[in-house]
Amino acid sequence: MRLLLVSDTHVPLRAKRLPDELLRESDRADVVVHAGDWVDVATLDLLEGRARHLVGVYGNNDGPELRARLPEVARVRLGGLRFGVVHETGAAHGREARCATLYPDLDILVFGHSHIPWDTKAPGGLRLLNPGSPTDRRRQPYCTYMTCTVAEGVLGNLVLHRLPRR
């Protein structure tokens, strides 16, 4: 199963639209996971229409329309792994231990908010993944997103994709 991990799209505030490369990846993915800060309902509609399966949450910049359609935390089993999706996890310092305590029932937690790509393991084995942002690099050198595969309880082929600077 191929997954596309994305967060912090911020359309139309940080970009007029999603990058073409990201849209092509959404077409190839079995599951699109979005960790919040969509900003625009049209972006949710677009990905819902393209994705075979969409798992998403709302972020701190998402208004009432998005909050009415998306949960704050999503949980789903994919390829034998227990995934969680949330927008905010708090400060980087202590994140692993804090998330291990908050989400003891998960194997992988996909989060956003910082726009900083992240891949670490918490005590007990929880894997924390932040795909960054495909539209707003902030202080990062590139806009980013992630792809990976899951099968038989194994996360594989995790790739952080860098998008060309605009």
Q: How many domains does the chain have?
A: 1
Instruction: List, for residues 111-162, the tens digit of each pLDDT value.
Output: 999 999 999 999 899 999 999 999 999 889 999 999 999 999 999 999 999 9
CA geometry: angle at 94 spanning 88 and 97, to 5°? 90
For residue 33, give the CATH number of its domain: 3.60.21.10
Look up the pTM and report it: 0.97
Q: Are strands 31-34 and 73-78 parallel, antiparallel or unpaired?
A: unpaired
Instruction: List, for residues 25-65, the tens digit of each pLDDT value.
Output: 999 999 999 999 999 999 999 999 999 999 999 999 999 99
The helix (run of H) or strand (run of E) holding residue 24 is helix 20-28
Cβ atoms 92, 86 nearer than 8 A: no
Whole domain around residue 78: which residue ranges? 2-163
